[in-house]
Amino acid sequence: MVRTGLSALLIIGTWATAGLTQASAADATSSAGPQASAGLLTAMQRDLGLTKDQAVARITAEKAATALEGTARSAAGTSFAGSWFDAGSGKLTVAVTDSSKARAVRATGAEARVVDHTARQLDAAKARLDALSAPTGVSSWHVDPRANSVVVNVVASEQGDNDVRAFLTKARALGPVTVKQTTEAPQTFAAGTVGGDPYYTGNVRCSIGFSVHGGFVTAGHCGQAGGAVRGWDGSAIGNFQGSSFPDNDYAWVNVGSGWWTVPVVLGWGTVSDQLVRGSNEAPIGASICRSGSTTHWHCGNVLAKNETVNYSQGAVRQMTKTSVCAEPGDSGGSFISGDQAQGVTSGGWGNCSSGGETWHQPINEILNRYGLTLHTA
């Protein structure tokens, strides 16, 4: 079950092929040490406008910020109001409502900013918004620690709609709300069958996310529990063992019939494969890259967490928003920051020619939901 060249590569990072050689594995540990492959650095240079040295420095700084986040949050105590990575300073910034806690946060090595509302207050306001029924002109909403507010994103062409205005009136009454415009409404990135691109279920093509022991995780909108999954050659791989959409957008598929799993995100013959070494969650502001069966490697930044996305099929909660582009067929694919798995592609707006935004369902939520163990190098 091996084929060569670009057409041979199985989608996003769950199955090994002949392309996963000792050389490609070695590439994954070169240049940036254990944190990034040469391919990941290439993609960051292309999509984020960085030099190779800047990409290496950013990954190193982001890894340090991720490791520091828990300690800095503890130092903030009940005044914690959120955190994010600042690419300019290369440091983690923690918001606090109590100025006396700012010094304790800075003592950990993080920057501190004094704001008005705690994270608990903002999360409670967002939860109240989640209970509302949103019109299609409202694309999403999330807590933005940098704005110290719940940000509601409205499709620009729909901002004058009566239902949208009524929703915003209700939203503003529930807590601190900031309204922003977005270009398009979000949509999922599933696609009809395209010859030569796995995986398939029914007449849908989606992308594999990450290997877990016994299978792989992907997007829930790609298939329902019990649905059969086929590989690039049409042979049986397994079945959806669990699936949730909307409200969530995650699923997992068992792997058998001669197929196997490895801890890599594939580079599609254009960049080196990226080894997966864990699932530490990157902070807001960190760089992040995505691999998918349609558009392959693209990079951007983490824009927001715990965002509720209002798809036409229903709202999906606890999503992470990024500035990475995607297109139909990329659904389910891998989001990775450095060598840490982040989540599976859900949907977004735009494309990889003109740009856009894409959401992913966090990987640790999926692992916890189904009791799965990430396959790591």
- Beta-carbon contacts of residue 33 (< 8 Å; ≥ 6 apart): none
The alpha carbon dihedral of 125, 131, 133, 135 has a sign of positive
Residues in contact with 92: Cβ distance below 8 Å, sequence separation at least 6, in sequence order: 65, 68, 69, 72, 83, 84, 85, 86, 109, 110, 111, 283
Q: Which of 128, 132, 131, 124 is nearest to 163 (CA)?
A: 132
Separation of alpha carbons 287 and 323, rounded Å: 9
For the purposes of burial, counting CB atoms within 10 Å of the CB of 114, is it exposed (0-12), middle (13-18) or buried (19 or more)? middle
Contact 80, 96 (CB under 8 A): yes
Three-class secondary structure of residue 285 per DSSP = coil
Residue 221 annotated in active site:
yes
User: Can 30 be counted among the known catalytic residues?
Assistant: no
Q: Is 199 in contact with 206 (CB distance < 8 Å)?
A: yes
Exactly one of 79, 144, 149, 221 is catalytic; name it: 221
Catalytic residue (one of 47, 144, 249, 339)? 249
Catalytic site residue 291? no
Catalytic residue, chosen from 293, 323, 331, 334, is 331
Q: Which residues are known to be catalytic?
A: 221, 249, 331
